[in-house]
A and B are shown apart, each in its own frame.
Chain A
Amino acid sequence: EDQVTQSPEALRLQEGESSSLNCSYTVSGLRGLFWYRQDPGKGPEFLFTLYSAGEEKEKERLKATLTKKESFLHITAPKPEDSATYLCAVQANTGANSKLTFGKGITLSVRP
């Protein structure tokens, strides 16, 4: 069974204080690892897809990296508007559009 574990559960940062969010996974052949942002009461919003170990993707203050066992979402000099829950999900290599398995998410709070 595919599993995704995210840590820490919650993270409080001061504005400008860089940090990393961790996503550990086990999957029967990884097709893709996804990062989403979720604001309270809203649907997940796509951030990145990573497909192979060593791959990195960047968007503004966010950078996602991937190894064979985990992914990191690095947040550089965060701002209060980066406060949200960050979800990690994996897709197994069982089909081009097979289901996503999500972790519980990491709730990030950035204080001004």
Chain B
Amino acid sequence: EPEVTQTPSHQVTQMGQEVILRCVPISNHLYFYWYRQILGQKVEFLVSFYNNEISEKSEIFDDQFSVERPDGSNFTLKIRSTKLEDSAMYFCASSTGTVTFRREFFGPGTRLTVL
């Protein structure tokens, strides 16, 4: 079965540094998502992306966050100036966007640790 891949699996950074999390969605999918999960808490929606633009974003997704699909295969999440509270597991997901049947495929996640 096709898979969503994410790199790196674990990223450690200092507070205030920029990080870029990378994802390769499934090749024929059209919709891309970022979710995050703080340890012991719910999976939370950050942003959805379709046709090279953001289609929906949450309150969490402020000006410190940005997404990009730079080359038609990768999908990135950038955090410009990391904060301690950004420490979490970040999941990329993709779906075909079929109206009648939606199934999100999640990647294995990137664990971000901000020191």
Are the C-beta atoms of B42 and A45 separated by less than 8 Å? Answer: no
CA A41 – CA B35 in complex, angstroms? 14
Are the C-beta atoms of B101 and A97 separated by less than 8 Å? Answer: no
Are the C-beta atoms of A97 and B109 separated by less than 8 Å? Answer: no
Are the C-beta atoms of B42 and A49 separated by less than 8 Å? Answer: no
| Residues in B whose Cβ lies below 8 Å from that of A18 | none
CA A91 – CA B100 in complex, angstroms? 13
Are the C-beta atoms of A43 and B97 separated by less than 8 Å? Answer: no
| CB-CB under 8 A for A97 and B31, given A87-B43, A102-B44 | yes
**Chain B: interface size category:** 20 to 34
CA A96 – CA B43 in complex, angstroms? 20
B82 is an interface residue with CB less than 8 A from chain A: no
Are the C-beta atoms of A99 and B56 separated by less than 8 Å? Answer: yes
Are the C-beta atoms of A42 and B41 separated by less than 8 Å? Answer: no
CA A89 – CA B30 in complex, angstroms? 21
Q: Smallest CB–CB gap between A106 and chain B, Å? A: 12
Are the C-beta atoms of B91 and A43 separated by less than 8 Å? Answer: yes
Are the C-beta atoms of A99 and B91 separated by less than 8 Å? Answer: no
Q: Smallest CB–CB gap between B27 and chain A, Å? A: 18
B75 is an interface residue with CB less than 8 A from chain A: no
CB within 8 Å of A: which B35-72 residues: 35, 41-45, 48, 50, 55-56, 58
Are the C-beta atoms of A101 and B45 separated by less than 8 Å? Answer: yes
User: Residues of A at under 8 Å CB distance from B?
Assistant: 32, 34, 36, 41-46, 49, 87, 89, 91, 95-105
